[in-house]
A = this chain, B = another copy of it.
Amino acid sequence: MIQTSPVATIARLREHVGQVVTLRGWAVHLRSSGKIRFVVLRDGTGIAQGVLIKGHLPEEDFAAFEELTLESSLTLTGRVKAEPRAPGGFELEVSGLQLIHIAQEYPIQPKEHGVGFLMDHRHLWLRSPRQQAILRVRDEVCRACRDFFHERDFVLIDTPILTPTACEGTTSLFETDYLGRGKAYLSQSGQLYLEAAAMALGRVYCFGPTFRAEKSKTRRHLTEFWMVEAEAAFYTLEDLLALTEELVSYIVARVLAHREEELALLERDTAPLKAVTKPFPRLSYTEAVARLKEQGMKMEWGEDFGGDEETLLSRMFAAPVIVHRYPRRAKAFYMEADPENPELALCVDMLAPEGYGEIIGGSQRVADLEVLLARLQEYGLPREPFEWYLDLRRYGSVPHSGFGLGIERTVAWLCGLKHVREAIPFPRLLDRLYP
């Protein structure tokens, strides 16, 4: 007999206590005890236990339990009961069980698997409670970023992925043939386009995938990753520092407020996240180098920070640390020089605490046409593909600044992950393009 009771989701079971509902999902745990059978069901919104007592449901439905395997799909109908001892906190007194599909022997077992195996089975691994929790945190981070910018009158500008020019040099770019009309490159940043849009709309942001064809294999690198970038006309470096600080506090607060359950499942210690409050510590690059040297790091003023330096710096503070004014020569061509010391760029990196390293990079941009032309030469970049970008300095140039925040690194930090690969649904790495 087909049950016609209303379909419910597990996340909303608390609204149905005492009622008969139907749940649809997958078996994640099966257990027998005398004349009682237990099915723990997941439906994507949570888990709930179904209790089958012989005689309380049709004999055929009770017998169907014996066919169930891990990850088989089924519907359970029954009365909802709050049961603090049950997984998920609710039980269903089952009055009907319909099999949908009996799963073959499920390859991911409740035991340790190597990460290679799990990555090969990423399409199934996503079903684990831990991976689901990470993806829900990611969803919240993305929504928080968008809400943050919308509330501050930034307009969404989707910048192109296929571009004729490289923003920061032509190495580490994926290239493709553009319909037989020349090469196109996959974007590493929407920044240059955002600058154009900022001159139209004042404050803008983009949020999309970016690509780096880097042959590096670290726990912080993906070849395809998502970045939210913002650009604002009339913003100076100081305005930018305040904006990045505000954004990161906002994201952390949102995740703590809305993803408590997921963080608990991930066994994330939330104390360090709760300690992320404004103002964030601010160091100039020069101060940061001094701090690193005090800690025994061997480095010279003028060198960019590597992974080790970032890790060490980011462990010195409870909140993310804002490092500003790096040596100009270590940075990209479009960064405005510090008027107080033209060796320095008006730029910022933000390093997440607990050793997570860089999550934000940004700068005030060169506003003057002649300076920008000189920079192209200095950096050995061709002028012609940048003509449109130069136009922004020909027609009502204004001081402006922008930054990008890496989503996977932010999610890895908030979730306490060792590697960014779990922070994106289907990671792309040096040796990983499947599934």
Contacts and interface: CB of A to CB of B under 8 A. Distances in A.
Interface string A22-57: 001111000000000000000111000000000000
Copies of this polypeptide in the complex: 2
A371 interface: no
Interface in A77-111: 100-101, 103-104, 106
A428 interface: yes
B209 A161 contact: yes
A428 B101 contact: no
A144 B399 CA distance: 32
A392 B123 contact: yes
Contacts of A131: 200
B103 A396 contact: yes
A213 B435 contact: no
A397 interface: yes
Given A175-B176, A201-B44, A208-B208, A156 B127 contact: no
Interface stretch (A191-199, A334-342, A345-353, A413-421): A191-199
Given A44-B203, A123-B388, A136-B201, 10 more contacts: A43-B202, A103-B395, A123-B392, A126-B196, A126-B199, A131-B200, A158-B424, A161-B209, A175-B177, A388-B435
A315 B425 CA distance: 40
Contacts of A308: none
Interface stretch (A180-188, A264-272, A281-289): A180-188
Interface string A9-26: 101000000000000111
A259 to B, nearest CB: 12
A148 interface: no
A143 B146 contact: yes
A211 interface: yes
Contacts of A397: 73, 100-101
Contacts of A186: 161, 176, 186
Contact of A123 (B27, B121, B391, B431): B391
A219 to B, nearest CB: 18
B158 A161 contact: no
Contact of A425 (B123, B193, B367, B433): B193
Interface string A212-235: 010100000001101000000110
Contact of A155 (B135, B182, B226): B135
Contact of A24 (B156, B157, B234, B394): B234
A132 B155 CA distance: 10
A8 B202 CA distance: 12
Q: Which 10 A/B pairs are nearest by Cβ-Cβ distance? A: A44-B202, A388-B435, A123-B196, A73-B396, A126-B200, A44-B201, A103-B395, A127-B200, A139-B156, A101-B397
Given A388-B434, A396-B73, A158 B425 contact: yes
Given A193-B426, A200-B127, A155 B179 contact: no
Interface in A231-251: 233-234
A272 to B, nearest CB: 25
A197 B185 CA distance: 29
B215 A179 contact: yes
Contact of A159 (B179, B215, B426): B426
